[in-house]
Structure 1
Amino acid sequence: MKQIQLQEINLPQFGQCDEIIEIPASEFETRIANTLFQMKAQQLDFLLVFADLEHTANLTYLTNLDPRFEEALLLLDKNGKRKMLLGNECMGYTRICPIPMEYELFQEFSLMGQDRSQSRSLETILSDFGIQAGSKIGCSYYKYQPDKKLYLEIPSYLADRLRQLAGKNELVVNASAIFMDVEKGLRHHNSLEQLVRFEWASTRTSESLKNLLLQLKPGVREYELAKTFVSDGLPYSCHPMVSSGKKASMGLSSPSANRVQLKDPFTSALGVWGALTARAGMVAEQADQLNVEVAAYYEEFWRGYFKTVVTWYEHVGIGVSAGEITEAVEAARNKLVFDFAVNTGHTLHLDEWVNSPFYTGSSIKLFSGMALHMDIIPVSKGQTVCCNMEDGIVLADEQLRIDWANRYPASWARIQKRRDFMINQIGINIKPEVLPLSNMPAYYNPYLLNFKKVAVYK
């Protein structure tokens, strides 16, 4: 009977590509066309997509432009007319967008103290674009409440003008579901090129975490470890995270001058557009370096946690309901030792978390083209300990796998090596459609000072 144990394993060099592929202009036109189709289905006359530095994914998905320093606003009408409003500095950034686009300077998006005398009023711009009494307007920013269509997360000055022009509050609705709904949302139905970029990104985050763990030792400062984080220029999807000791209980905290100590709990993560890798555990080479009570508890903790990870990986697949996976993972949880912090997984895109189908009672069936994040975070019910491993995968049907292998053979070869490693070295029997993106595929050393002693299921 298979059981969870520790085994010394050398992590292979899976490699990475130097050159990242570009999304072709035709793909962005397809995305606009698909958005117009969704607008028609929702009887929207106009769609406004708002973005800022942190919440840019929906706008960038459509235009390749992510606003720097400022906000930005894309206007679409149901017939395909398009215009983007940008502040002073982003007007010089427009060539990043590969498709035809009308641009207008809107200086209210500019930083404080800059000139605001050259642009038209928001009301005039919106009216000239065609928004008028009776127009039904969808707004998208970065989240939505499924049962509250009138809840808008865009700035109030924009919401107020739209409601004023439309004449009725109920004509201005939240339309972020066009992009973020778990089943129909456009950003969950990824093209091959987008998925290949995610694989490229994941090699960067996972190699960074691997190098961090190899340099981890008592006495090193958190910010010294953060020097191993290399994104190769990809924008961050979240702030870099390194924490040890008492600070590790705040897993989201940034690196500090804090020095790592033997017996510390320790957490780390790096996220960029399309990928995040995280690892957490105890700063020790083996259990007997921890206090007796902590050691006994931690053995139950990490083993129970890894059981949930194995369960998730072995259940996930095309056509499987996310609720079924959630129930299986919950059944595998050692309920006396830890709880789950959040959902046991979610979807992944330019933003670290788009949405999650993984909740009790979910009937959502997983499908080809989804990028998923194995994100099971255990919260101790007893001793101050931690463990965590997070990596991305893609679900790909037979045709998508054939296309990937034919068009991007180097990326495909890395994926096949990772699959072989997970199945034959770690002992996790993933389905054929499960494509691991990380160069640390299910590679987890709970005693962080012993990099090669990892959890296996054999």
Structure 2
Amino acid sequence: MPQLASVSPLDHGIAEPPPEISPACYRARHAAMQQRMHAAGLDWLVVYGDREHSANLAYLTGFDPRFEEALLLVAADGRMRLLVGNECLGYLPDAALGIEIELFQELSLPGQARDASRPLDRLLADVGIGPGQRVGCVGWKVFDGALIAGGALASELPAYLIDALRARCGAIDAVRNATGLFIDPADGLRLRCEPEQIVRFEYAAGITSAGVRAVVAALRPGVREDMLERMLDARGLPLSCHRMLSVGAKARRGLASPGAGRAQLGDSFTCAFGVSGALTCRAGAIAAGPADLPAGLAEFYPSFAANYFAVTRAWYQALAVGVPARSVFHAADGLRDPALFDFAVNPGHALHLDEWVHSAFTATSDVMLASGMVLQMDIIPVSRGPFCTANAEDGVVLADAALRAALAATAPACWERMQARRAWMQQALGITLHESVLPLADTTGWFAPYALAPDQALVW
């Protein structure tokens, strides 16, 4: 049963920055993409990216547009042309990838010059998009529910682009949503991470977990949110979401950015920090124990926090390569006390350059968890009693024997850290992981509900 014990998380520090993804790795991704295109009967892929939604584009090119939008046109024979706006002409992918570049100024910000580009229709015709061809559009969503019409024909890409593509191809149904090739929770290309990518994500998790741990250690009555936020140092990595940090009543708005609010004894707090490849979140009470909490909450919160830990432990312990995602959902939900809290969203999801790729963690999912998946424990409890907070989000990667051997051979320091975390989670926290589950952060599984007693964590 959950109980408080004197436990501090591991502290490996932040690793040396790993190498960038190699051209060879990108070429392997391009080859896999071409195979998917052929299987889907597509002549072209049009991959769209903007400042917030650039993960699919960056997965293929290492390029994430700054300030503006970008389009990658991919032919079935492997030819690629990247369309960029004015400012990104000075910020382009590695030339070794062999991607053609063209300026298309309508991707630029409003008011900038539009006098040095070809019209879109002429540009599409020049690359070879024309009548009778099938085009797959890649954005960041798939529309497989009943809330909007269109199904596979629906796209979140700009209407002017979809209209131009359909005009070129001569049929509405020739242009379809192909985002699932990259983000499908069962077999999307980005749901299978290579050792190179895993090492970079483990580095990212070291950054986010160190930052959030520093914030929790510095929480005390009187400290201001914006002073704490300075501890969330991204080390130059792009943010995958804005920094979130709130205390007191503002913590009800968990997505809020830090401001000038000051912590008070008995407040709730929440803090989340995400960079490309990782997110760490912690939430709890600014207290040393129940005696510091307001009347009513002092009786409720110990059970709330303990049940939250039990549910997260069940989630981690249910993970394994080859397990259906619904089994993980039911393992966690089966221990949730419905009198205490509900899940705010799915209790987990796939993680990549973007914080949320897709989620297979539903009650009825048939998706089988597979080697190479990077998964985020995302159990956000919504209290059924007095308002209070608890959160202990971190990520893991699933790895079969072959991937584990590859990581041990190519990234021994990273491998040893992951093995140390596995042992610590079992010995210190009472969380036993399947051999295929590799924790990415030193804080994985660690939940100290009372910020003024950070060495008192829940264990089993």
Q: TM-score, normalised by structure 2?
A: 0.97
Q: Return the alpha-carbon distance in structure 2 between the equivalents of residues 95 and 404 of structure 1.
A: 27
Q: Return the alpha-carbon distance in structure 2 between the equivalents of residues 21 and 201 of structure 1.
A: 13
The letter of the residue matching 2:284 is G
Aligned to 2:206: 203
SS in 2 for 1:50: strand
Q: Are 1:351 and 2:360 matched, yes or no?
A: no
1:269-295 CA distances to partner (integer Å, 9 max, x unpaired)? Answer: 000000000000011011111123111
Aligned to 2:311: 308
- Compute the RMSD of aligned alpha carbons: 1.0
Q: Are 1:318 and 2:321 matched, yes or no?
A: yes
Q: 1:314 to 1:97 in 2, by over 3 A?
A: farther
Q: Are 1:153 and 2:161 matched, yes or no?
A: no
Identical positions, percent? 44
Aligned residues of 1:50 and 1:140 also touching (Cα < 8 A)? yes
Q: Are 1:120 and 2:118 matched, yes or no?
A: yes
Q: Are 1:420 and 2:423 matched, yes or no?
A: yes
Aligned to 1:376: 379
**CA shift at 1:114, angstroms?**
1.4
Aligned to 1:163: 166
1:162-192 CA distances to partner (integer Å, 9 max, x unpaired)? Answer: 1111111111100000100011210001101
Q: Return the alpha-carbon distance in structure 2 between the equivalents of residues 247 and 233 of structure 1.
A: 29
Q: Are 1:187 and 2:190 matched, yes or no?
A: yes
Aligned residues of 1:63 and 1:98 also touching (Cα < 8 A)? no
**CA shift at 1:432, angstroms?**
1.1
**CA shift at 1:127, angstroms?**
0.9
Q: Return the alpha-carbon distance in structure 2 between the equivalents of residues 229 and 70 of structure 1.
A: 26
Aligned to 2:262: 259
1:25-56 CA distances to partner (integer Å, 9 max, x unpaired)? Answer: 01111111111111111111111001001000
SS in 2 for 1:206: helix
SS in 1 for 2:258: coil
Aligned to 1:144: 142
Q: Return the alpha-carbon distance in structure 2 between the equivalents of residues 271 and 10 of structure 1.
A: 22
**CA shift at 1:97, angstroms?**
5.6
Aligned to 2:148: none
**CA shift at 1:407, angstroms?**
1.4
User: Which of 59, 67, 70 is the matching residue for 1:69?
Assistant: 67
**CA shift at 1:12, angstroms?**
3.0
Q: Return the alpha-carbon distance in structure 2 between the equivalents of residues 19 and 247 of structure 1.
A: 35
User: Which of 51, 57, 60 is the matching residue for 1:59?
Assistant: 57
Q: Are 1:389 and 2:392 matched, yes or no?
A: yes
The letter of the residue matching 1:325 is V
**CA shift at 1:10, angstroms?**
3.0
Aligned residues of 2:43 and 2:133 also touching (Cα < 8 A)? yes
The letter of the residue matching 1:278 is C
Q: Return the alpha-carbon distance in structure 1 between the equivalents of residues 196 and 15 of structure 2.
A: 14
User: Which of 215, 239, 242 is the matching residue for 1:212?
Assistant: 215
**CA shift at 1:231, angstroms?**
1.1
Aligned residues of 2:393 and 2:444 also touching (Cα < 8 A)? no
User: Which of 229, 232, 242 is the matching residue for 2:232?
Assistant: 229
Q: Return the alpha-carbon distance in structure 1 between the equivalents of residues 9 and 368 of structure 2.
A: 33
**CA shift at 1:95, angstroms?**
4.4
Q: Return the alpha-carbon distance in structure 2 between the equivalents of residues 366 and 95 of structure 1.
A: 32
Q: Return the alpha-carbon distance in structure 1 between the equivalents of residues 317 and 383 of structure 2.
A: 24
**CA shift at 1:11, angstroms?**
2.8
1:281-321 CA distances to partner (integer Å, 9 max, x unpaired)? Answer: 01101111112311111111111111100110111111111
**CA shift at 1:15, angstroms?**
2.7
Q: Are 1:365 and 2:368 matched, yes or no?
A: yes
Residues paired across the two proteins, number: 455
SS in 2 for 1:376: coil
What residue ranges of structure 1 are gaps of 5+ in the alignment? none
**CA shift at 1:134, angstroms?**
1.6
Aligned to 2:90: 92
Q: Are 1:452 and 2:455 matched, yes or no?
A: yes
Q: Return the alpha-carbon distance in structure 1 between the equivalents of residues 198 and 62 of structure 2.
A: 16
User: Which of 233, 237, 241 is the matching residue for 1:238?
Assistant: 241
Q: Return the alpha-carbon distance in structure 2 between the equivalents of residues 395 and 328 of structure 1.
A: 18
1:320-356 CA distances to partner (integer Å, 9 max, x unpaired)? Answer: 1111111121111000111000001000000000001
Aligned to 1:285: 288
The letter of the residue matching 1:120 is R
Aligned residues of 2:326 and 2:363 also touching (Cα < 8 A)? yes
**CA shift at 1:399, angstroms?**
1.7
The letter of the residue matching 1:138 is G
Aligned to 1:11: 9
Aligned residues of 2:61 and 2:93 also touching (Cα < 8 A)? no
Q: Are 1:173 and 2:171 matched, yes or no?
A: no
Q: Are 1:28 and 2:19 matched, yes or no?
A: no
Aligned residues of 1:64 and 1:98 also touching (Cα < 8 A)? no
The letter of the residue matching 1:180 is I
Aligned residues of 1:421 and 1:441 also touching (Cα < 8 A)? no
Q: Return the alpha-carbon distance in structure 1 between the equivalents of residues 9 and 178 of structure 2.
A: 44
Q: TM-score, normalised by structure 1?
A: 0.98
SS in 1 for 2:421: helix
**CA shift at 1:378, angstroms?**
0.4
**CA shift at 1:403, angstroms?**
1.6
**CA shift at 1:20, angstroms?**
1.8
1:221-249 CA distances to partner (integer Å, 9 max, x unpaired)? Answer: 10100000011100000000001111101
SS in 1 for 2:392: strand
The letter of the residue matching 2:449 is P
The letter of the residue matching 1:34 is A
1:421-452 CA distances to partner (integer Å, 9 max, x unpaired)? Answer: 10000011111111001121211110111110
Q: Return the alpha-carbon distance in structure 1 between the equivalents of residues 311 and 93 of structure 2.
A: 46
The letter of the residue matching 1:100 is G
**CA shift at 1:16, angstroms?**
2.7
SS in 1 for 2:91: helix
